[in-house]
Structure 1
Amino acid sequence: MAELLEALIINNDTTTLPSFPQRIDLLWGENDLFFSVEFAKDLQRKLGEMTSMESIKNGGHLVQLDRPFVYNKLLNKFLASVH
């Protein structure tokens, strides 16, 4: 069991993300208990200039369930901006 858990540990310093040609929009709950907003900002920076991020107040890890109207509004805004 310990070996399985150790295999799940990933060093953020050595992790490389692929380069994506399309725009990426991160919709993040400010109250996410699993992945902080700081984690999301770091992910946005690592994904590059084609990535935008919106944090949603009072949203948790499942922000689409916690704040569905805000989530859908921001998702529609992003989709409308894609050409």
Structure 2
Amino acid sequence: MTVTVILGPEYDKTLRTTVMDVMGQLGASVESRNWSVAGSQEIETVQARLAGQEIIIEAETYIGLSITGDEDMINEISERVRQATQTIPT
């Protein structure tokens, strides 16, 4: 089943870098990158392939940073991203 998860705000550069780092660690390859503007909306789309399946990462104004694909893969990616960005209380 295909699912979409909002990982956080689209303007969070650390989050964007972490998502791409996790994808790379899992062996994903980027197939395309597109950026467009429609009115006040900016949309950046990254199409990647992981274990033969398509993963779409989108950063869209007012929506956030989302990742779409196979449910098990998206759950694995989002959990790894969550762990990597989790702050440790002091």
TM-score (norm: length of structure 1): 0.30
Q: Which one has a larger percent strand, Structure 1 or Structure 2?
A: 2
Which structure would you say has the larger RCO, counting Cα contacts within 8 Å and 6 or more residues apart? 2
Q: Which one has a larger percent helix, Structure 1 or Structure 2?
A: 1
